[in-house]
């Protein structure tokens, strides 16, 4: 629904809809003393983000791995390539053994993996997905009350984003910290702590939907038996919870104590070397985190490096992508040494990203505790563009909905199960996800609270 509000229609809406506000006074008992938030302490909204990096993590041809922990369940051990997640380990779940099932579609190298994770189906052509990326479903569910429905950023300077509603056109990402800063905190920035505040008119309309239902309550309840009355009472109490949620959105939001408008970053020349990309990632993390804390957006999509990552160690004549393919497996160690070293370097970006989110105190915890970040890559064993054992992570407590700190190991379950899990934890009303052999209605309940 495209809402075209002006002052007059707002007024008309308010006048014509006395029913809208009818339920609100009765709701007072559900609010705590300052009248602003739910009494049960669920004060802070859940935020969601994706974090993508290219080229996976390192497996070995003989079946070993440099990243998959041997211990499953809670308390997994830190493996060499997960070293950078050490500080937030208890807030990160690791998912291994998940794969993309092509259903006969080709393995489009450095594309099929993440396209399938995001769209639920192996793609038919490069740079195309068969449907929307799932982050948009989450944005539709949780991202409508903020200035931006979602924000995209790319740390390598490349114009690359995988967030799409059509499968063909992708959101335009901010490709430098300064651009991201300008987008979030430049012109149009809505200071959540500013004294001027306007409620979202679409929320009142959604309330009217519910009040039309409650209008009929008396008629419905007349003549029902005791057991049915209890059931219908529960229905109406659930409906009232929904009304409450909406009513709260019409209240002036709680002061965002965590929101501190950051200083503008300094412009730097673009480069794809891993130190620069990681430094951009860190800066962008700080900005995105503040963008979340300042209520500018609830959803973000971050790309560290694209699928066929061009990143390299400064001074080397070889890029990471090439090394994953051409480096032989070390005879003694049993894995690709340089590749693994680079994978760990690339993972530093993810570690620092999460550390930044965890550094922002919010309510009783940190911003990370109130967020869910799904990290994933395009491939498993990059040397052969494997679509098996694609590394994936869920980070952050999601307001207590993610039972974090676990390692979930499977043998070839479809990646879509994690996508579905992420959607459900983040609050998207989605019951199934994926197409063909990757269609699933089974989220990973082990990590769901």
Which residues from 375-404 bind another protein, rule CB under 8 A?
383-388
Among 127, 193, 214, 279, which residue sits at the site for another protein (rule: CB under 8 A)? 214
Range in contact with another protein (rule: CB under 8 A) among 279-287, 340-348, 391-399, 424-432? 424-432
Range in contact with another protein (rule: CB under 8 A) among 2-10, 161-169, 182-190, 249-257? 2-10
Rounded to whole angstroms, the Cα distance separating 66 from 347 reads 12
Q: Does 222 bind another protein (CB under 8 A)?
A: yes
Look at residues 169, 182, 155, 321 and name the one whose alpha carbon lies nearest to residue 265: 182
Look at residues 284, 328, 289, 329 and name the one whose alpha carbon lies nearest to residue 305: 284
Output the CA torsion sign for 327, 330, 336, 342: negative
Among 24, 27, 220, 435, which residue sits at the site for another protein (rule: CB under 8 A)? 220
Q: Does 37 bind another protein (CB under 8 A)?
A: no
Q: Does 61 bind another protein (CB under 8 A)?
A: yes
Look at residues 158, 165, 110 and name the one whose alpha carbon lies nearest to residue 134: 165
What is the footprint of another protein within residues 173-212 (CB under 8 A)? Answer: 201-202, 204-206, 208-212
What is the footprint of another protein within residues 98-137 (CB under 8 A)? Answer: 99, 101-107
Q: Does 27 bind another protein (CB under 8 A)?
A: no
Q: For residue 245, which phi and psi values (nearest 5 degrees)? A: -55, -45
Q: Provide, rounded to whole angstroms, the least separation between the CB of residue 312 and another protein.
A: 5
Q: Provide, rounded to whole angstroms, the least separation between the CB of residue 266 and another protein.
A: 19
The token duo for 117 is 């994770």
Q: Provide, rounded to whole angstroms, the least separation between the CB of residue 367 and another protein.
A: 23
Q: Are 449 and 426 in contact (CB under 8 A)?
A: no
Q: Provide, rounded to whole angstroms, the least separation between the CB of residue 358 and another protein.
A: 27
What is the footprint of another protein within residues 326-385 (CB under 8 A)? Answer: 326, 328-329, 331-332, 383-385
Among 35, 235, 255, 264, which residue sits at the site for another protein (rule: CB under 8 A)? 235
DSSP 312: B
Among 29, 34, 187, 429, which residue sits at the site for another protein (rule: CB under 8 A)? 429
Rounded to whole angstroms, the Cα distance separating 186 from 183 reads 6
Q: Which is nearer to another protein, 198 or 226 (CB)?
A: 226
Q: Does 25 bind another protein (CB under 8 A)?
A: no
What is the footprint of another protein within residues 65-84 (CB under 8 A)? Answer: none
Per-residue contact string for residues 307-326; x = within reach of another protein by CB under 8 A = -xxx-x--xxxxx-xx--xx
The token duo for 52 is 């993508």
Among 29, 196, 218, 266, which residue sits at the site for another protein (rule: CB under 8 A)? 218
Strand partners, 54: none
Q: Which is nearer to another protein, 263 or 332 (CB)?
A: 332
Rounded to whole angstroms, the Cα distance separating 114 from 107 reads 11
Among 160, 430, 444, 447, which residue sits at the site for another protein (rule: CB under 8 A)? 430
Range in contact with another protein (rule: CB under 8 A) among 15-23, 85-93, 279-287, 290-298? 15-23
For 266: left if phi > 0, alpha if psi spans -120 to 50, otherwise beta; the answer is: beta
Neighbours of 376 (CB within 10 A): 24
Q: Does 219 bind another protein (CB under 8 A)?
A: yes
Long-range contacts of 59-66 (CB under 8 A, 24+ apart): 59/380, 59/381, 59/386, 59/389, 60/329, 60/334, 60/335, 60/336, 60/381, 61/329, 61/381, 61/383, 62/334, 64/334, 64/335, 65/96, 65/389, 66/335, 66/340, 66/343
Q: Does 238 bind another protein (CB under 8 A)?
A: yes
Q: Does 29 bind another protein (CB under 8 A)?
A: no
Q: Provide, rounded to whole angstroms, the least separation between the CB of residue 212 and another protein.
A: 4
Strand partners, 373: 49, 395
Among 32, 77, 228, 257, which residue sits at the site for another protein (rule: CB under 8 A)? 228
Q: Are 239 and 217 in contact (CB under 8 A)?
A: no
Range in contact with another protein (rule: CB under 8 A) among 177-185, 348-356, 364-372, 410-418? 410-418
Q: Does 141 bind another protein (CB under 8 A)?
A: yes
Look at residues 340, 260, 446 and name the one whose alpha carbon lies nearest to residue 56: 340
Q: Provide, rounded to whole angstroms, the least separation between the CB of residue 11 and another protein.
A: 10
Q: Which is nearer to another protein, 32 or 326 (CB)?
A: 326
- Going by their DSSP bridges, the two strands 92-99 and 151-154 should be labelled as unpaired
């Amino acid at each position: 629904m495209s809402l075209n509000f002006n002052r007059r229609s707002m007024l008309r809406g308010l006048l014509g809809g006395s029913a809208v506000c009818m339920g609100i006074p009765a709701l007072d008992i559900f609010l705590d003393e300052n009248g602003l938030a739910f009494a049960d302490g669920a004060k802070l909204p859940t935020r969601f983000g994706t974090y993508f990096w290219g080229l996976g993590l390192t497996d070995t041809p003989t079946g070993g791995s440099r990243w998959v922990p041997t211990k499953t369940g809670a308390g997994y051990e830190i493996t060499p390539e997960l070293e950078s997640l050490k500080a937030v380990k208890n807030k990160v779940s690791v998912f291994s053994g998940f794969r993309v099932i092509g259903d006969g579609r080709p393995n489009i190298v450095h594309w099929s993996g993440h396209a399938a994770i995001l769209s639920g189906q192996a793609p038919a052509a490069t740079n195309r997905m068969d449907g929307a990326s799932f982050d948009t479903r989450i944005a539709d569910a949780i991202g409508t009350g903020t200035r931006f429905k979602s924000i995209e950023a790319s740390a390598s300077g490349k114009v690359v984003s995988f967030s799409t509603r059509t499968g063909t056109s992708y959101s335009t990402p901010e490709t430098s910290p300064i651009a991201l800063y300008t987008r979030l905190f430049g012109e149009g920035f809505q200071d959540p702590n500013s004294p001027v505040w306007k409620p979202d008119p679409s929320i009142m309309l959604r309330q009217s939907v519910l009040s039309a239902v409650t209008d009929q309550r008396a008629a419905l309840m007349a003549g029902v038996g005791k057991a049915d009355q209890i059931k219908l009472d529960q229905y109406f109490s659930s409906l009232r919870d929904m009304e409450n949620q909406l009513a709260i959105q019409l209240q002036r939001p709680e002061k965002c104590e965590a929101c501190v408008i950051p200083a503008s970053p300094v412009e730097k020349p673009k480069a794809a070397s891993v130190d620069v990309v990681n430094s951009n990632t860190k800066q962008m993390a700080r900005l995105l985190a503040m963008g979340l804390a300042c209520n500018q957006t609830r959803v973000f999509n971050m790309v560290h490096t694209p699928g066929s990552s061009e990143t390299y160690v400064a001074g080397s004549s070889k890029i990471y992508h090439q090394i994953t393919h051409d480096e032989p497996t070390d005879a003694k160690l049993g894995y690709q040494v340089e590749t693994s070293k680079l994978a760990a370097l690339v993972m530093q970006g993810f570690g620092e990203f999460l550390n930044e989110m965890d550094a922002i105190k919010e309510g009783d915890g940190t911003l990370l505790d109130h967020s869910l970040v799904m990290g994933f890559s395009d491939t498993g064993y990059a040397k052969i563009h494997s679509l098996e054992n694609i590394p994936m992570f869920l980070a952050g407590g999601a307001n207590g909905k993610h039972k974090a700190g676990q390692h979930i190991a499977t043998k070839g379950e479809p990646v879509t199960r994690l996508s579905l899990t992420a959607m459900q934890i983040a609050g998207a009303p989605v019951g199934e996800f994926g197409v063909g052999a990757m269609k699933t209605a089974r989220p990973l309940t082990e990590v769901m609270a």
